[in-house]
Structure 1
Amino acid sequence: MAAAELRSAVKVSARLDWDLMPLEGVGPLCFGMHVAEVAAVLPGMTELRRFQAEPSFGEALGVEFGMGQAKPAVYAYFVDGRLFCVAADAVHGPQVTLWGRELTACVPADLERFLLHAHWCEVVDVSYGPRGNPGVNELGLVVRVQEVASGVVTRPVMVGRTWADRCTDDWEGAIPECEWVGRSWPRPSGAESWPPPGHKTHWGSWQPPF
């Protein structure tokens, strides 16, 4: 599917527009907020469910907020009761913008070129985690992909200043394990998903929540 068609297929008429304030917050959310504070600044959204975000770190709480009973829009992650990570759903989530560039529901290759252009211009330092996802530690930003009916589009994942160090490292960074599971960043070679078929995980009884 062509890039324009792919973008059009996941457009949501009521999609919110959020600006990313690197390391500080995104839209109405500020890193460090409590769950009740997050819920209070998400008008029109309701809490759909709570889940354990990490297989071996039960203190990492994930809260899914949505526009309706079955339309997840925002995934907020808390540790010690404080917001440290936010991910925007590619289908129903807000359109997150950085420097005027949309980050949600984009064609992966197009957004990667945008980041690499900023890298070549020495604006940011793009790095890749072991599973191939691009991101910028100094912005607290990692770009993941999400599978939709029309193909694969981007899903921005953002963390606050305290958790930004090595955030692009999917083994050692602060972003919860559940955000790395699923479709892998498109590459000419390599597994299409994490974990790849037949891979033995060390999750115990934990199951990815989505």
Structure 2
Amino acid sequence: MTPGSEVVRGYGHQAKLASASSQANGLGIILAPLAVEAGGSYATGGWNVATDVWGVLDEAQRLPWSFTPFECVGPLKFGMTHDQVRAAVDGVLSIGVSQGYAGSEVWAEFDLEQRPDARFSGPAVTVYYDQSIGLAGVAVNALRGPQVTLAEIRLVGQVPSRLEDQFTDYLTVHGKELRYSQSADPCSSHLGLALRVQRAGDLVLSRPVMVTEAWADRCWDTSEGCIPEKEWKTFEW
């Protein structure tokens, strides 16, 4: 893959349209080889992914991670380089798509590797980099991401209103401020945590975004905060 290029996933005609668009506008987007197989799955790069894009992992199937504000999300420590991030999740998550040049990545998406105990594969974790910091933000996919806990509160794939109640209680007990994004996502700059939502078929489930301390100020602000616009616009898949 050419440094700085981007892989586009797609199904059938959508993938072809993406490929045609990349050729027309010269954006340097590379489409991975795609072949539809019997049983409704597609193969790309030698591995198969179920096409049930709304499949949600059971709790027992999720990787167990914990969140320590401003320090780490599971094995991912804020400040890591892209290569260090890849090494930290090797064997359980694999790089799916990234943007930026080698050594100057802007963001990267990691897929859940196929496992016998997990029916669904696909995007699980999205990481964001700051050129002066390294790893600065981690967003966890509501459908297939690891289960990240904060003081025994499950942050991933939860009913938003229930999680909001738990989060509010936690912040009250610990004397920390609760803020809301312009999309009404509960957030706390004191923790560097924004509780976004993501579509899961006819439902929405929680998609937490955790950031380094340098990004925490106004982490609830979709226009002036450091969390990239790409993340605030992510709702599907």
> Which residue number in structure 2 is paired with residue 51 of structure 1?
99
Deviations 1:104-154 (A, max 9, x none): 000000011112223443532110122221111010000000001251000
> Which residue number in structure 2 is paired with residue 173 of structure 1?
225
Which stretch has the larger CA shift, 154-163 or 123-132? 123-132
> Which residue number in structure 2 is paired with residue 34 of structure 1?
81
In the aligned structure 1, how far is the partner of 2:223 from the partner of 2:178?
17
Q: How many residues in Structure 1 have an aligned counterpart in Structure 2?
A: 172
| Residues 63, 147 of structure 2: 8 Å contact kept | yes
Task: Report the Cα offset of residue 20 of structure 1.
Answer: 0.3
Structure 1 pair 127/40, CA: closer, same or farther in 2 (3 Å)? same
> Which residue number in structure 1 is paired with residue 128 of structure 2?
77
Q: Does 1:67 align with 2:112?
A: yes
Q: Percent identity?
A: 37
The one-letter code matched in structure 1 to 2:128 is: Y
Q: Does 1:143 align with 2:191?
A: no
> Which is higher, the Rg of structure 1 or of structure 2?
2
Q: Does 1:101 align with 2:153?
A: yes
Structure 1 pair 122/32, CA: closer, same or farther in 2 (3 Å)? closer
TM-score, structure 2 normalization: 0.67
Matches within 5 A, 1:126-165: 126-165=178-217
Q: How large is the RMSD of aligned CA atoms in angstroms?
A: 2.3
Report which structure shows greater RCO (CA 8 Å, sep ≥6): 1
Task: Report the Cα offset of residue 9 of structure 1.
Answer: 5.5
Deviations 1:3-50 (A, max 9, x none): xxxxx9642543111110001111001110000000001032111111
In the aligned structure 2, how far is the partner of 1:39 from the partner of 1:144?
24
| Residues 12, 91 of structure 1: 8 Å contact kept | no
> Which residue number in structure 2 is paired with residue 22 of structure 1?
69
In the aligned structure 1, how far is the partner of 2:158 from the partner of 2:176?
20
| Residues 189, 218 of structure 2: 8 Å contact kept | yes
Gaps of at least 5 residues in structure 2 are 1-54, 115-120
Structure 1 pair 77/9, CA: closer, same or farther in 2 (3 Å)? closer
Structure 1 pair 120/13, CA: closer, same or farther in 2 (3 Å)? closer
Which stretch has the larger CA shift, 11-20 or 100-109? 11-20
TM-score, structure 1 normalization: 0.75
Task: Report the Cα offset of residue 85 of structure 1.
Answer: 0.3
| Residues 90, 153 of structure 1: 8 Å contact kept | yes
Q: Which secondary structure state, in structure 1, belongs to the residue aligned with residue 138 of structure 2?
A: strand
Deviations 1:46-87 (A, max 9, x none): 1111137xxxxxx77110111248601110111217110000
In the aligned structure 1, how far is the partner of 2:95 from the partner of 2:160?
29
